[in-house]
Homo-oligomer: A and B are copies of this chain.
Amino acid sequence: MSGGSRWPAWFDPDDDRLARAAWSRLAEPGDEEAWGFVAEHGAGVALRLLADSGGRVSPRWWVRWAHTDPRRDLRVVERFGGRWIVPGDAQWPLRLDDLQQRRPFGLWVRGPLDPADACARSVAVVGARAATYYGRDLAAGIATGCADAGYTTVSGGAYGIDAAAHRAALAVDGVTVAVLACGIDRAYPRGNERLLEQIAEVGCLVSEVPPGSAPTRWRFLERNRLIAALTAGTVVVEAGWRSGAQNTARHALGLGRPLGACPGPVTSALSAGCHRLLREGAVCVCDAGEVLELVAPIGEQLTLDPDLTPTVLDALRPEQRRVYEALPVRTPAGMDSVARHAGLEPRAVERILARLAALDLAQLSGGRWLRGAGKPAREPSGRPAR
């Protein structure tokens, strides 16, 4: 199949954009040799070197030569209102450069959003396809909260956690990006066809493989590196002990990106992967607030610490608390008895009782002391409701 013209009609060694589109078909995602070859010679010259050598430069790229036609790919994508963006374009998400030799040659993009803009403030929300209601609820809550805070939800368009996260973001008019392992013209999985169409209408579909490409296991794994690289941080909501989400998580860690994992019942096989990640360094995140705290620049997000909502008793110093505890509830007691139970010096107890009386936490009854009910506690502002 190495036949056909060595100089196909589409060939133009000066068109870097076109040459990169060709490379996106010739080499599998994450092919570091291809990346290095293109980086060394430029995409167009690299193509010519491959053609001139009759494929001897690399037979594994050459096997696809005769089936490569980037002008056709561009036409196909344009029919969907899609486009091909490459490094240097304004829409190129700069975070992808962290992938170094595993950078994609470009991105096939569909949808009205600028992927660079959309991913600037973004969280990857990923997890099991066979997710539980618990996991899907959790994913939806996180995506909703992220949308409310102006953060984009990036995921893989799969069943389960991915779909729950995309849908929740769409439901509140939030921004969502699906990164696919197949061409952006293919609806995979088929059951998410309507969802992927919706994302293409208002959000962004992204892939590094050209139109028509099938999703293979290899491409799923390499797709996961894009999800991790495109976002400010990754959250695994539910995942089996071995799963694609684990793979995405490892890419995030490898890139030095914040990684969160949601806890769940230890009895749930779909939380086992999350617990594994927690043991391996992921941060425990229970809601959107904690996710944003994980990925937002310091100072931007603030999770309310429920500990900052004291009751009257919490405001007491330890010795005041001890005296309060030493006060009888029913039969009034003398000061000496209170001091003995508290194990504190009588003069100090006298002073503390006066303070407690002012707070209605102690009351005098015929020269003896009783516990008081206390002034009403300050209204607790509490933890933000989930």
| A75 proximal to B (CB < 8 A) | no
Known: A63-B339, A138-B266, A343-B64. A284 touches B290 (CB 8 A): no
Q: Are B266 and A286 in contact (CB under 8 A)?
A: yes
Known: A60-B343, A67-B340, A346-B63. A278 touches B284 (CB 8 A): yes
> How long is the Cα–Cα vector from A339 to B2 in the complex, in angstroms?
12
The segment from A98-106, A169-177, A318-326 found at the interface with B is A318-326
| Contact bitstring A30-49, B, C-beta under 8 A = 1, else 0 | 01000000000000000000
Task: List residues of A (174-220) whose CB comes within 8 Å of B's CBs.
Answer: 216-218
| A351 proximal to B (CB < 8 A) | no
> How long is the Cα–Cα vector from A272 to B265 in the complex, in angstroms?
12
Q: Are B307 and A217 in contact (CB under 8 A)?
A: no
> How long is the Cα–Cα vector from A42 to B28 in the complex, in angstroms?
78
Task: List residues of A (336-361) whose CB comes within 8 Å of B's CBs.
Answer: 336-337, 339-340, 342-348
**Shortest beta-carbon distance, A149 to chain B, in Å?**
18
| A370 proximal to B (CB < 8 A) | no
Q: Are A265 and B134 in contact (CB under 8 A)?
A: yes
Known: A63-B343, A218-B318, A325-B218. A283 touches B290 (CB 8 A): no
Of A31, A266, A326, chain B has the most CB atoms within 10 Å of the CB of A266
> How long is the Cα–Cα vector from A337 to B337 in the complex, in angstroms?
94
| A242 proximal to B (CB < 8 A) | yes
> How long is the Cα–Cα vector from A339 to B287 in the complex, in angstroms?
46
| Contact bitstring A283-295, B, C-beta under 8 A = 1, else 0 | 1101100100000
> How long is the Cα–Cα vector from A59 to B307 in the complex, in angstroms?
34
The A interface is mostly helix, strand or loop, or mixed, namely: helix
| A315 proximal to B (CB < 8 A) | no
Known: A266-B386, A345-B59. A279 touches B271 (CB 8 A): no
Partner of A28, one of B60, B61, B216, B343: B343
Known: A264-B266, A284-B278. A344 touches B134 (CB 8 A): no
Give the residue name and chain of the B residue nearest to A62 (CB): B345
Give the residue name and chain of the B residue nearest to A279 (CB): B284
**Shortest beta-carbon distance, A62 to chain B, in Å?**
8
Q: Are B63 and A322 in contact (CB under 8 A)?
A: no
**Shortest beta-carbon distance, A243 to chain B, in Å?**
12
| Contact bitstring A306-319, B, C-beta under 8 A = 1, else 0 | 11000000000010
Known: A263-B275, A266-B264, A266-B287. A216 touches B63 (CB 8 A): no
| A58 proximal to B (CB < 8 A) | yes
Give the residue name and chain of the B residue nearest to A216 (CB): B325
Contacts of A1 in B (CB 8 A): 336-337, 340
**Shortest beta-carbon distance, A266 to chain B, in Å?**
4
**Shortest beta-carbon distance, A27 to chain B, in Å?**
7
| A262 proximal to B (CB < 8 A) | yes
Q: Which 5 A-B pairs have the closest CB atoms?
A: A263-B263, A59-B345, A278-B284, A266-B286, A60-B345
| Cβ contacts A to B, 22 pairs, < 8 Å | A1-B337, A26-B343, A27-B343, A58-B345, A60-B343, A63-B339, A67-B340, A134-B265, A138-B266, A216-B322, A216-B325, A216-B326, A241-B307, A242-B307, A263-B264, A263-B271, A263-B275, A263-B284, A266-B287, A275-B284, A279-B283, A284-B284
